[in-house]
Amino acid sequence: MTRRGRMTRAPARLRTVRRVFGYLRPYRGRAALVLVLVAVGNGLALATPWPLKVVVDHVLGGQPLPGWLAGWLPGPLAGAGALLATAAVVAIVVEVAAAAVAYAENYVSIDAGQRMVNDLRADVYAHLQRLSLAFHSRQRVGDLLHRVLADTFALQSLVMNGLLPLLSAALMLAGMAVVMLRLHAGLALLTLGLVPALAVAVGAIGARIKGAAIRAREEEGAIYARTQEDLASIPLIQAFTREDEATARFVAASRSSLRAFLTLYSVQTLFGSTVTALLGIGGALLLWAGARGVIDGHLSVGTLLVFLAYLRAIYTPVSRLVGSWGTVRAAEASAERVFEVLDRAPQIVDRPGAPPLPRVRGVLAFEGVWFAYDPERPVLQDISFVARPGETVAVVGPTGVGKTTLAALVLRFLDPTAGRVTIDGHDLRDVQVRSVRAQVSLVLQEPLLFSTTVRENIALGRPGASDAEIVDAARQAGAHEFIVRLPQGYDTLIGERGARLSGGERQRLALARAFLKDAPILVLDEPTSALDPETERLIVERLAALARGRTTLIIAHRLSTLRGADLVLVLDRGRIVERGPWEALLARGGVLRRYWDLQARAGVEP
């Protein structure tokens, strides 16, 4: 990377770290306790070789105790036997205390890290709920799953497995440097001479770890997306006997992910191997210089043992320093993927000070509405119409002309590119989004159900509804009869997306949800398309009763739905090309008549 590139990346890295520490702020008490435990643990680690030095130099070597140590020990403990026993007891106490502190440090740090991950996951998930349908239509569900469930662990890795161990290792090295410089400046400088070489290794290889980590996370997100899509499409794959092709696609994605992770692990292994080699060279030089000092009488055997112990011990903080830096760089890549989602501004938001939409009669108006996902390719062009309470407006046209987009504008899933959508004269952009959606019932062509009970799926229309109200809504939708035949009735779990129900049963549950909500405006995306003719006639009758006094917008695919409409809008290439009552449009012999004849010739009941 060029110097300019490194300078550009540094502020971005600092912003990422600051945002990560923002999630640590609520748990700063736990973080402070971890720092205290780190300091105590480092002190105990520094004390570990000293009982051995006392035994070698002062018990076996007969050297007098230094003044500071002699002042601490009462006379009876200054003898050789007592001093040996004291050193042994101190060694045991240090080891036991170090183990206890390490346990406490790990527990508190993991607890804080998991809480941070939970907070970040909640934020990302809530933010995804607020992002528009336009955003979600461009994303792979599997990749978003990976960002929510896997990449969020970067928070714990970055702080608890990266930055805190980095700080601990730095403090440990600083403590070792102070002790070694007081013991023997020459050997201390020789030992600490490894630091610049390690810094070069960190700078040279660290950037490669970050790049490899980003590629690995992207490939892992891709395999999540592939797996999610294929598992959701099992009936289609089996129906077209494409099991082998689906498996081949999965294996190809898995191999690509494997190659990316092998590259990451290779770079990380190179990092560790470089550190090990440098420590080995430093150890050999220290052993040679230290032994020469003992031979020449400039150094005691105990002091050399302390240096050798610190050299062996220095591998731990240096390895943690190096490993933590690698962890930080890898976790930074995941954190950036998470923050990339959080930084995506919701397109549909309340204006500052926007009031809630009051309870409305339901006069729905489109006034010169244009909409485009791509500015060069408008989906809707100059759409204008009015639907009043008690009226049913049906929208018909070939696939891709913008019928579903038009319905999405009513619920403010999208905002017009130009023009406006109003309810009772209120521009939907000037009132609170939730208050708009609370007054619109939606039934999609493909019913969306959750893997909970029948009761909970219906109650989604109005949380807090009584059992009697839920049963009444199910009766109105023609669903009560099949529900009571289920193993647990209204408490039956229906499986993912209602997999344990037939298509018609799923649609009737979705209709029951709309009946229960009892909103003044209904948006129906061909709700009877999955029903048999007898049930369809029954539901159409009940929908007519529900629509009485309410504004109803129907997205029509089967033209038989148009019979009860007060106004039919025929869309073609995003424009209204015909409008009027059903019978008048058929008699005119225009576009609608052509659709009618095409369905009749295709054997579809028009």
* CATH tag for 24-342 (out of 1.20.1440.130, 1.10.3720.10, 1.10.10.10, 1.20.1560.10): 1.20.1560.10
Is residue 353 helix, strand or coil?
coil
Taking only the tens place, the pLDDT of each residue in 112-136 is 888 888 898 889 888 888 887 777 7
* CATH tag for 364-601 (out of 3.40.630.40, 1.10.620.20, 1.10.1040.10, 3.40.50.300): 3.40.50.300
Q: Do residues 343 and 426 lie in contact, with contact meaning Cβ atoms separated by under 8 Å?
A: no
Topology match between the domains 24-342 and 364-601: no
Q: Lowest-pLDDT range, 49-63, 117-131, 369-383, 542-556?
A: 49-63
Residue 173 has pLDDT above 70, yes or no: yes
pLDDT of residue 11: 65
pLDDT more than 90, % of the chain = 12
pLDDT of residue 416: 92
Taking only the tens place, the pLDDT of each residue in 206-255 is 667 767 877 887 788 778 777 877 776 676 676 656 778 788 888 888 88
- When pLDDT is averaged across residues 18-26 and rounded to a whole number, the result is 84
Residue 338 has pLDDT above 70, yes or no: yes
The residues, any chain, with a CB within 8 Å of residue 47's CB and separated by 6 or more, are 94
Q: Which residue has the higher pLDDT, 56 or 374?
A: 374
Q: Which residue has the higher pLDDT, 381 or 134?
A: 381
pLDDT of residue 148: 85
Taking only the tens place, the pLDDT of each residue in 264-292 is 888 878 877 877 787 777 777 777 877 77
The domain limits of the chain are 24-342, 364-601
Q: What one-letter code names the amino acid at 212?
A: A
Q: Which of 61-65, 202-206, 331-335, 532-536 has the highest mean pLDDT?
A: 331-335
pLDDT bucket at 369, cuts 50 / 70 / 90: very high
pLDDT of residue 356: 92
- When pLDDT is averaged across residues 393-420 and rounded to a whole number, the result is 88
Q: Do residues 206 and 76 lie in contact, with contact meaning Cβ atoms separated by under 8 Å?
A: no
Residue 185 has pLDDT above 70, yes or no: yes
Q: Which residue has the higher pLDDT, 546 or 6?
A: 546
Q: CA–CA separation, 470 vs 509, rounded Å?
A: 11
pLDDT of residue 8: 46
Residue 458 has pLDDT above 50, yes or no: yes
Q: CA–CA separation, 111 vs 519, rounded Å?
A: 45
pLDDT bucket at 199, cuts 50 / 70 / 90: low
What's the angle, vertex CA 36, arms to CA 30 and CA 37, rounded to 5?
Answer: 90
pLDDT of residue 409: 92
Q: What is the mean pLDDT of the chain?
A: 79
Residue 9 has pLDDT above 60, yes or no: no
- When pLDDT is averaged across residues 150-166 and rounded to a whole number, the result is 74
Q: CA–CA separation, 571 vs 555, rounded Å?
A: 11
Taking only the tens place, the pLDDT of each residue in 508-541 is 888 888 888 888 998 888 766 656 666 667 667 7
pLDDT of residue 604: 52
Residue 346 DSSP one-character state? -
pLDDT of residue 425: 92
Quickly tell me which residue has 């019913």 as its tokens: 447
The residues, any chain, with a CB within 8 Å of residue 128's CB and separated by 6 or more, are 136, 144, 148, 341
Taking only the tens place, the pLDDT of each residue in 563-605 is 778 899 999 888 999 898 888 888 887 787 887 777 666 555 5
Q: Which residue has the higher pLDDT, 220 or 32?
A: 32
